[in-house]
């Protein structure tokens, strides 16, 4: 090669190098990021499950076998029910063909689709093999079930991560368990109220009734109201009434709460308000919807029954 030809090649390479670099840089910058690709794939899964709102819809679409009942971790959250499409459990790894739909149960008996799960049995892909991968995430082992697994929370946000097994926002609580959770939240609201003075300082300062008692069924006690709450609100953390039982020494004991909505705000011929999965009942004499809740004193007639045999005005 002559010196002149070598010099021309060097000049040509120097000229082309920036163009090659720019071209490569444009290719890198122009493509979708990994996060964008994951979100696109998640949206494609949502399209596959878009018409599935109930377990009946799932069964009609092929996910008809509840493999687990409702699954929940005592600390980290729930998974819900695992409804499987059995013919998909054949080793396939395709984000558009999830083996499992995850459903969260609700106290009214309904089920909510919250996500999907992909599984590959060890019988098809051995536990000592390289894990399958979807959404740029590797499956993990579930030795108890003998599977590789990947949970994907497509429908309900998971604060622990879209691909984390357990979702703190998913629960298997029964209606009774949820009621107890709500009752404990009310007890936290009233925890510092031990007498009428505490109640007044907290805003419950109006005795609406004096002490109320039924001749055979028990008592209600005094109805100490927070008047600004009597505006139609229905919130278990904002009871309109605190119920106090009087004692012979002149002291008063907090025994429960009551929620009321006046007929003037919600007419008597409308559907009743609901709290703690219980409907309010009519009190035509007072022209209100009402629900008593015995948070502090056990009621043998029931937590939500009006009269409490353990409460007296004597």
Q: Where are the domains of the chain?
A: 41-172, 177-293
What is the spatial distance between Cα 108 and Cα 223, in angstroms, rounded to a whole number?
A: 31
Residue 136 tokens read as 């740029």
Flag whether pLDDT at 23 surpasses 50. Answer: no
Task: Report pLDDT digits (tens) over 237-290.
Answer: 999 999 999 999 999 999 999 999 999 999 999 999 999 989 999 999 999 999
Rounded to an integer, the average pLDDT of 32-37 is 95
Environment class of 179 (CB within 10 Å of its CB; exposed 0-12, middle 13-18, buried 19+): buried
Q: In the numeric block, which tokens belong to residue 207? A: 């005795």
Element (H, E) at 187: helix 175-189
Q: Which residues are CB-neighbours of 12 under 8 A, at least 6 positions away?
A: none
**pLDDT classification of 28: cutoffs 50, 70, 90:** low
Average pLDDT over residues 126-149: 97
The model carries a pTM of: 0.57
SS3 308: strand
The span from the CA of 260 to the CA of 281, in Å, is 10
- Which one, of 209, 191, 224, 162, lies nearest residue 295 by Cα? 191
Confidence of residue 17 (pLDDT cuts 50, 70, 90): very low
Percent residues over pLDDT 70 in the chain? 91
Phi-psi group of 215: left, alpha or beta (phi > 0 → left; psi -120 to 50 → alpha; rest → beta): alpha
The three-state (H, E, C) secondary structure of 120-179, written as one string? EECCCCCCCCCCCEECCEECEEECCCCEEEEEECCCCCCCCCCCCCCECCCCCCCHHHHH
């Amino acid at each position: 090669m002559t010196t002149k030809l070598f010099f021309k090649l060097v000049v040509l390479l120097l000229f082309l190098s920036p163009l090659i670099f720019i071209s490569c840089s444009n290719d890198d910058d122009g493509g979708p990021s990994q996060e964008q690709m994951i979100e696109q794939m998640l949206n494609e899964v949502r399209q596959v499950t878009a018409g599935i709102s109930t377990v009946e819809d799932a069964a009609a679409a092929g996910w008809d076998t509840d493999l687990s009942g409702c699954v929940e971790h005592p600390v980290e959250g729930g998974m819900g029910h695992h409804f499987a499409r059995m013919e998909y459990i054949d080793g396939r790894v395709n984000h558009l063909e999830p083996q499992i739909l995850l459903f969260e149960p609700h106290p009214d008996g309904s089920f909510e689709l919250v996500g999907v799960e992909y599984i590959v049995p060890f019988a098809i892909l051995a536990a000592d093999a390289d894990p399958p991968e979807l959404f740029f995430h590797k499956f993990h082992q579930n030795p108890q079930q003998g599977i590789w697994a990947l949970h994907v929370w497509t429908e309900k946000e998971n604060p622990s991560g879209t691909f984390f097994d357990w979702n703190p926002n998913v629960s298997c609580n029964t209606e009774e368990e949820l009621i107890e959770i709500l009752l404990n939240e009310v007890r936290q609201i009233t925890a510092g109220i031990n007498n009428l003075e505490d109640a007044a300082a907290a805003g419950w300062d109006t005795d609406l009734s004096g002490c109320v008692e039924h001749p055979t069924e028990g008592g209600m006690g005094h109805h100490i109201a927070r008047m600004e709450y009597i505006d139609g609100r229905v919130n278990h953390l904002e009871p309109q009434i605190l119920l106090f039982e009087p004692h012979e020494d002149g002291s008063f004991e907090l025994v429960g709460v009551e929620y009321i909505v006046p007929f003037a705000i919600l007419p008597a011929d409308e559907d009743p308000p609901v709290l703690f999965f219980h409907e309010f009942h009519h009190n035509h004499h007072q022209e209100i919807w009402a629900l008593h809740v015995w948070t502090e004193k056990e009621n043998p007639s029931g937590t939500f029954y009006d009269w409490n045999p353990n409460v007296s005005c004597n």
